[in-house]
Amino acid sequence: MARFLRNNEEKEGMPPGSLVFTGQQKVAEPQIRITTYDNSELKDEDIKKYQSITSHTSSDKVTWLNIDGVHDSSLIKTIGENFDLSLMALEDIQDTGQRPTIQEYQDYLFATMKVINTGSDEENVRAEQVSFILGDNYLITFKEQPSLIFEPVRKRLFKQKGKIRQKGPDYLFYTLLDCVLENYLKVIERIGERIEDIEEEVIADPKPEQLEEINFYRREIAYIRKSIRPAREIILKVNRIDSEYIDESTAPYLKDLTSMLEQSLDSLEIYKEILGDLFSTYNMSIGTRLNETMKFLTIFATIFIPLTFLAGIYGMNFEHIPELHYKHGYYVLLGLMGAIALVMLVYFKKKKWM
């Protein structure tokens, strides 16, 4: 199955705005959590059966609605109706294979981004879509499955009467974006460490497994780059947006995100280059090593060639080969052979062939 481009054939022939889940279902039941807070109060509840938002929220508080699992089209639709969202946005939430995007609507801002999941060291990384809907006094987030990526923010909401509780949903949006970009840095750093390890291993002792790893990480980095590069446009657009749902005091925080993202992309670029260099270096080390072996064998054989020739000479059956009748002929010849071998060895040493 193509990891780099996943088309949604399920949707063919449907009108734009049809709600169809096109990814791989990663959670049995969508998990819904509503957090409402203001400076003084915070309410955080898991909801089993989502019906309407009105019973859980009030207009003077910030509402954060988080849904883990986006395969349930009817749920998405209900939420869409509650918040009066465009069908286009709802469709994008369920189309998890698509490119990150950002769109301004009349009353809210819609953005999707990718989170990079790494399992154990052996597995491929996988990008998962996170969608944000930022309205006047609410923020809705959709993830493909429960994950801990937003937990630090939730903890901060709980633990302290800090800035986040005094500010609006735009600031919450910023802190969550910050989490997503942190995630990129973390994933890239982990891969980067492994790559720098491989580098040392390749120089010390090149092995075919390293080549496989090099190719593996080349794919990983191409995949991550493809997933996070569009985020650049999104962050840029968020920075440029002159919108009612982004408070002016949050703007400087948003600017900081660009720098974080650029750092991720710079590093990816460098690791890509390093892997290219590693491939060449590996290739060359292997070649050199093999050639050294061949050279040794060839030299070894070369030394015996004139000796065997000499033995052949005195194995001939001519009637008149005077040397054959010398008393010490045999020993003289053995001595000569040793001398020849020695001279050749010295010559090869001098030529630095050994």
Q: Check residue 304 for interaction with a copy of itself (CB under 8 A).
A: yes
Interface region with a copy of itself, contact rule CB under 8 A, candidates 59-67, 73-81, 120-128, 267-275: 267-275
Compute the least distance from the CB of residue 281 to a copy of itself, in Å.
Answer: 6
Instruction: Out of 43, 163, 338, 345, name the contact with a copy of itself by CB under 8 A.
Output: 163
Please identify, using beta-carbon distances, which residue of 81 and 212 lies nearer to a copy of itself: 212
Q: Check residue 211 for interaction with a copy of itself (CB under 8 A).
A: yes
DSSP E strand stretches across the chain: 31-37, 42-47, 62-68, 102-104, 109-117, 126-134, 138-143
* Interacting residues of 98 by C-beta distance below 8 A, sequence separation 6+: 92, 112, 129
Six-digit token pair at 232?
Answer: 């650049």
Instruction: Out of 33, 73, 230, 239, name the contact with a copy of itself by CB under 8 A.
Output: 230
Please identify, using beta-carbon distances, which residue of 55 and 106 lies nearer to a copy of itself: 106
Compute the least distance from the CB of residue 293 to a copy of itself, in Å.
Answer: 5
How far apart (Å, rounded) are the C-alpha atoms in residues 124 and 51? 38
Instruction: Tell me the per-residue interface mask from 140 to 159 with a copy of itself, x by CB under 8 A, - otherwise.
Output: -----------xxx-xx---
The string of DSSP codes covering 3-60 is: SS----GGGTTPPTT-----S----SS-EEEEEEE-SS-EEEEEESS---SGGG--TT
How far apart (Å, rounded) are the C-alpha atoms in residues 73 and 76? 5
Compute the least distance from the CB of residue 50 to a copy of itself, in Å.
Answer: 26
Q: How far is CA 258 from CA 1, 43, 184, in A?
A: 33, 32, 13
Interface region with a copy of itself, contact rule CB under 8 A, candidates 34-42, 130-138, 234-242, 307-315: 307-315
Q: Check residue 236 for interaction with a copy of itself (CB under 8 A).
A: no
Q: What is the CA radius of gyration of the chain?
A: 35
Q: Check residue 263 for interaction with a copy of itself (CB under 8 A).
A: yes
Q: Check residue 277 for interaction with a copy of itself (CB under 8 A).
A: yes
122's enclosing H/E stretch is: none
How far apart (Å, rounded) are the C-alpha atoms in residues 321 and 180? 91
Compute the least distance from the CB of residue 180 to a copy of itself, in Å.
Answer: 13
| Ranges within 69-108 binding a copy of itself (CB under 8 A) | 86, 88, 98-99, 101, 103
Q: Check residue 14 for interaction with a copy of itself (CB under 8 A).
A: yes
Please identify, using beta-carbon distances, which residue of 3 and 51 lies nearer to a copy of itself: 3
